[in-house]
Structure 1
């Protein structure tokens, strides 16, 4: 009996010992699993936070670019409206100034022919009475006063037109600069939006619990990353192309009218800088004789007041005598007339041709003339070419589809 009890006790001791060992092993295994799971959760949380931070960062960049786009577009809309208003006011002032110039010139010629002092004396002598003499002298005094008032108004209008031209040019230049920034931002926005899509899919994959769903998202993420890389490559190519264009445009500015005319005479098309030569017409066409010189403002000889690559910049480069703040191409005719330059409808080598299409218009410089309906010009910003060159050969300015036109003569 004692032997059985001892055996049972020993067996119980062994079982308990083994059970304790099993409990200890099982506890250790569970703790490890919990720790591993915690580590996995922490890793997933960290990955999700990193992915979310990337999404937030790119989303912020996209929002910033979009905000700048909206701001620039709003500024452009406002400036374009202001420019149109200024252009209308400049044109009206120009008409008044030109009309007064003509009236004052006629009166000056009349005074030179008859002599103002002699006219006063003859008026008094030929009067039948003192009353009539006083009346006539009074009338002449009123004419003189009116002329003085006209001169004062002319001075005021010229000051006003100069101020408006500067303001208009600043508005135009800002709009063009904003348009370039908008074009650059459009490329950057496309790239950032593609990057954002890839980042969002990466975040979704990190959060996915089902294996199948995760694999599908990872495939979409890979495609989105490839699209983002392609967008970035396109943006880089765009920037390189823009830089090359800017360099070519700047290089084309190292030319002058003589070089462009020489290129025409040599049968060239897109002209480059060449030594100075005597400007002559490559035909027997006769240009109108220039009248006596008129007093005009003195302008700078560089084209820095106009945006590089625009038609106005090209015209100013080839015709340094042109004004510094004549606005868009369509406004050059009115601005030149107000400044005292001759304008007309007959082509002449060295003259500026200004087209008015009801919008921005266009300007170029005449380099060759065969007839009124057959000329050659050098210009910038024509058919996508912003460098200065001869892109049309012989053509009819009236059939160019750019609206009505006028020539501005340098003499």
Structure 2
């Protein structure tokens, strides 16, 4: 009995001892898990802060690009309105200058053919009285004064049109430069927005607690990363294409009218409907009678390069091939009015070397004539036609009267 009692005591002691050890082990294991979970929470919190910082940074870049786009768009709308106002003022001044030129030219021809100075003297000598002579002298003085006022007004209008042309060209150039910046920003914005989505999904994945949800978010993140990479690739391709076009435009500027005329002569003449039985011959000179040369006119001195016009635009291409054209003649549709105001002849008959100016009520277009068969069949060299920014012959033979508005030709002589 005593032996059993001792055995029971020893067994109880062992069990109690092992239970205490087990309790200690369980407590230690729980503390480790809590500590590990705390470390994991702290780690996730740090990752969340990093991901949030990335989101904030990209969001700031997106907002900056969007703000710049809004600013440029507003500036473009303002400049386009100013350009339209200046264009109207330039057209009015041009008409006034041309009208006075005709009036002054008529008076000059009248003086040469009728001997106006001699007639004035005879008028005074043949007066019947001093009073009549004084009256006639006064009348002639008023005529001379009116002519002097007309000359002074002509001078003022020419100065005004020159100033407005420069201001208008600056507005046009700024609008075109802003449009290019907007196009570049659009591509950059596309990339940044794709990067932003990646960062946002990355942040959402870090915040996700359920493994299934996090797995789905990670799949979305992978898809977004792929989309971002594709957007970046498209932006890189866009920049490469812009660089290629810029190189093409620069290379195309290394030409002249003679080279373009020679190239036009090698272009086959496609027969019209009425000429299908016999091919039409290629003619590089006008088929109509040219007008007699006009008297020499005093004109401003212009740059021999096209630096005042945006590279790749039709005005740049025309100025490159016709260096005698003005530096600040505005958009293509304004060139005929600006040229007439500067003293150049204009008309409806195409000639090789002349500038064709189409006015369609908008920006218009200009090109340089390189071959002529008739008023309805010509070839031109141009830029910014159908998306082609380099200088070249993109149309072959065509009818200029139905191309893109009313066509007026500007002659170099």
| TMscore range, shorter length | over 0.9
Secondary structure of the corresponding residue to residue 296 of structure 1: coil
Quote how far apart the aligned CAs of 1:13 are.
5.4
Tell me the equivalent position of 2:222: 222
Tell me the equivalent position of 2:303: 300
Within a 5 Å distance, the mapping from 1:4-403 to structure 2 comes to 14-15=14-15, 17-267=17-267, 281-282=284-285, 285-400=288-403, 402-403=404-405
**Distance (whole Å) between structure 1 residues aligned to residue 292 and residue 100 of structure 2:** 24
User: Normalised by the size of structure 2, how large is the TM-score?
Assistant: 0.92
Quick check: 1:311–1:364 contact (8 Å CA) kept in 2? yes
**Distance (whole Å) between structure 2 residues aligned to residue 18 and residue 212 of structure 1:** 41
Secondary structure of the corresponding residue to residue 327 of structure 2: coil
**Distance (whole Å) between structure 2 residues aligned to residue 368 and residue 379 of structure 1:** 13
Tell me the equivalent position of 1:409: 411
Quick check: 1:288–1:346 contact (8 Å CA) kept in 2? no
Quick check: 1:315–1:352 contact (8 Å CA) kept in 2? yes
**Distance (whole Å) between structure 1 residues aligned to residue 205 and residue 37 of structure 2:** 19
Quick check: 1:83–1:171 contact (8 Å CA) kept in 2? yes
Which has the larger displacement, 191-200 or 10-19? 10-19
Quick check: 1:309–1:386 contact (8 Å CA) kept in 2? yes
**Distance (whole Å) between structure 1 residues aligned to residue 79 and residue 330 of structure 2:** 13
Quick check: 2:285–2:352 contact (8 Å CA) kept in 1? no
Quick check: 2:383–2:392 contact (8 Å CA) kept in 1? yes
Secondary structure of the corresponding residue to residue 184 of structure 1: helix
Tell me the equivalent position of 1:277: none
Quick check: 1:350–1:365 contact (8 Å CA) kept in 2? yes
Quote how far apart the aligned CAs of 1:176 are.
0.4
User: Normalised by the size of structure 1, how large is the TM-score?
Assistant: 0.92
Quote how far apart the aligned CAs of 1:113 are.
3.0
Quick check: 1:201–1:221 contact (8 Å CA) kept in 2? yes
Quote how far apart the aligned CAs of 1:52 are.
1.4
Quote how far apart the aligned CAs of 1:322 are.
0.3
Once the two structures are superposed, residues 32-68 of structure 1 have per-residue CA deviations (whole angstroms, 9 ceiling, x without a partner) of 1122111111121122222212211211111111111
Quote how far apart the aligned CAs of 1:376 are.
0.7
Quote how far apart the aligned CAs of 1:5 are.
8.5
Quick check: 1:353–1:366 contact (8 Å CA) kept in 2? yes
Unaligned runs of 5+ in 2: 270-282
**Distance (whole Å) between structure 2 residues aligned to residue 60 and residue 202 of structure 1:** 17
**Distance (whole Å) between structure 2 residues aligned to residue 3 and residue 128 of structure 1:** 178
Quote how far apart the aligned CAs of 1:214 are.
1.6
CA RMSD of aligned residues (A): 2.0
Quick check: 1:62–1:192 contact (8 Å CA) kept in 2? yes
Secondary structure of the corresponding residue to residue 387 of structure 2: coil
Quick check: 1:165–1:325 contact (8 Å CA) kept in 2? yes
Once the two structures are superposed, residues 265-317 of structure 1 have per-residue CA deviations (whole angstroms, 9 ceiling, x without a partner) of 23389xxxxxxxxxx93565443232222111110100000000000000000
Matched residues, number: 400
Quote how far apart the aligned CAs of 1:4 are.
8.5
Quick check: 2:286–2:351 contact (8 Å CA) kept in 1? no
